[in-house]
Structure 1
């Protein structure tokens, strides 16, 4: 028994000396440029915001928008994930057709210098919302058999009706940015902010009186605050309950609240005139 104890202690001592020798060699080793991190840890070293171009969507982009919504947007949106709504749901097919083929669509493309190709990394879709939109959603939800579809329709109607923006700002319609999403690999790189700023500039040029963003995630709220939008209303996901008083949404962290951000353009001031050539 004593012999076994001695051998175990000798093995432990040899391992400790081996680790100390390794650390000493690492300490005295000559440092190279590969040891220095020239890029922050939370950023992609191959990503450059200057390679992002914003284009308007048309008929030739329908398939790209559909693929983007199913791969990057529906799988991360809290109002879909929190309801455990599957991707083959008929309601998602209706929404995908709506967003990919109608509305004011802005697409963010990343130009890949190595292959000289353009990759879709962000989508923004905006439509005009009128005061009767909430009543239509509730009527459709009343005749919907699927429970997740019904809950989301009631939820969207509640987000349109609760802030009461039509009466507060005395407008006939609201320019609602319904989709504002980026690809997972470029999240936090400024693509969403660039998309929203471009959408606000276009809304100002088109003389839309009020722009609204229903922020369903914490990241969208940060983007809206960066672009100077004002928060008009907010609600915790736990406060939205069904007829039986039970909680409906169970989103992932840190998406706990839904907020409504607006940007008001005074019609008396008018739109911004485009830049004129110097000649």
Structure 2
């Protein structure tokens, strides 16, 4: 043992319990006792509201990154078409869509298309499906109507509007950087700030479901793909494992949770400062 270290330990052992000054000085003098704070790297992305001029870019990325991989669309081998594009644009026109952009060149690399749903929307969706000639698109729209109606949140909660995080997608080259989580987190906050009493997400993939759970949303319904059948009693969707069904998540107190999050964020620097002083 080093003579200096042995002498310091002897001093500490001889310190009366009420006197902690020398003990604190000893802790500061040895790096083994110091807690190194993790330095947060600045993200090269920003999340902002989408403008009307960006709708076409969002649709283009949606064609490349959403339809080929989303379980229901890929299972039906859906080809993007004017009906689905118009449906997405109609949702974007509510002004609740968020996009992730690269800070350096301003390119859109991902989006979360959010919209509000009302009790009559499933009926309107079914009417639209009946006018579509493409059988695959018709099946998809009928499934959307079924999903929207399934938990019957309007009647159960006595509300007329639900904020829904509809489509979430990120460009392939910009994945595994937490962008989907950031987009959904900001979208959830936007729903609370916009005054919606309920925030909802229909997680058609296990990856979206995991994000919903990270955000503290509660699962209110689950629809296995094998239970949604056609006229011949055959499953309409047969996505590869591990995609097994749709999980519907809700947050019925978004404003309350948002206030708590902001309060926690505002008190955290004070706690950190107090820890540094002690």
- Residues 254 and 144 of structure 1, relative CA distance in 2, 3 Å threshold: same
Q: Aligned to 1:77, which of 66, 70, 81?
A: 70
User: Do the aligned partners of 1:236 and 1:258 also contact (CA within 8 Å) in 2?
Assistant: yes
Deviations, residues 122-153 of structure 1 (Å, cap 9, x unaligned):
10111110001111112222333221112111
Matched, 1:106 2:106: no
Structure with the bigger percentage of helix: 2
Moved more, 71-80 or 216-225: 71-80
* Structure 1 stretches lacking a partner, 5+ long: 1-47
User: Do the aligned partners of 1:137 and 1:157 also contact (CA within 8 Å) in 2?
Assistant: yes
Matched, 1:58 2:51: yes
* Structure 2 stretches lacking a partner, 5+ long: 1-40, 267-278
- Residues 198 and 247 of structure 1, relative CA distance in 2, 3 Å threshold: same
Matched, 1:183 2:176: no
Deviations, residues 28-74 of structure 1 (Å, cap 9, x unaligned):
xxxxxxxxxxxxxxxxxxxx671221111112212321221111122
Report 1:38-187 matches (<5 A): 50-87=43-80, 89-99=81-91, 101-111=93-103, 116-187=104-175
User: Do the aligned partners of 2:99 and 2:108 also contact (CA within 8 Å) in 1?
Assistant: yes
Deviation at 1:261, TM superposition (A): 0.7
The answer for the alignment partner of 1:246 in structure 2 is 234
Aligned equivalents of 1:193, 1:270: Cα separation in 2: 17
Deviation at 1:252, TM superposition (A): 3.1
Aligned equivalents of 2:132, 2:110: Cα separation in 1: 31
- Residues 178 and 64 of structure 1, relative CA distance in 2, 3 Å threshold: same
Deviation at 1:187, TM superposition (A): 2.8
- SS of the equivalent of 2:76 reads coil
Deviation at 1:119, TM superposition (A): 2.9
Moved more, 175-184 or 48-57: 48-57
CA RMSD of aligned residues (A): 2.4
The answer for the alignment partner of 2:204 in structure 1 is 216
Deviation at 1:224, TM superposition (A): 0.7
Total equivalences in the alignment: 223
Deviation at 1:110, TM superposition (A): 2.4
